[in-house]
Amino acid sequence: MLSRREWIRVSMLGAAGAVVTRSIPLRAMAPIPIDVYKTAACACCKAWVAHLDSNGFAAIVHDVPKLDPINAELGIPLPLQTCHAARVASYVISGHVPADLIQRFLREHPTTLAGLAVPGMPLGSPGMESQKKVLYSVLSFEKDGTTHVYARR
Q: Topology of 30-152 in CATH?
A: Glutaredoxin (3.40.30)
pLDDT digits (tens, 9 = 90+) for 64-104: 999 999 999 999 999 999 999 999 999 999 999 999 999 99
Average pLDDT over the chain reads: 88
Domain boundaries, the chain: 30-152
Packing angle of the helix pair 43-53, 99-108 (nearest 10 deg) = 60
Q: What is the largest CA-CA distance in the chain?
A: 71
Element (H, E) at 137: strand 137-141
Alpha carbon distance 50, 7 (integer Å): 48
**Of how many residues is the chain composed?**
153
Predicted pLDDT at 3 = 58
pLDDT digits (tens, 9 = 90+) for 26-58: 456 799 999 999 999 999 999 999 999 999 999
Give the residue ranges of DSSP H helices in 38-147. 43-53, 68-74, 99-108
User: Residues 116, 91: contact at Cβ < 8 Å?
Assistant: yes
* Cβ count near 128 (within 10 Å): 19
Nearest to 53 by CA among 125, 127, 118, 116: 127
Alpha carbon distance 64, 149 (integer Å): 29
Please give the model's pTM, rounded to 2 decimal places: 0.81
pLDDT bracket for residue 13 (50, 70, 90): very low
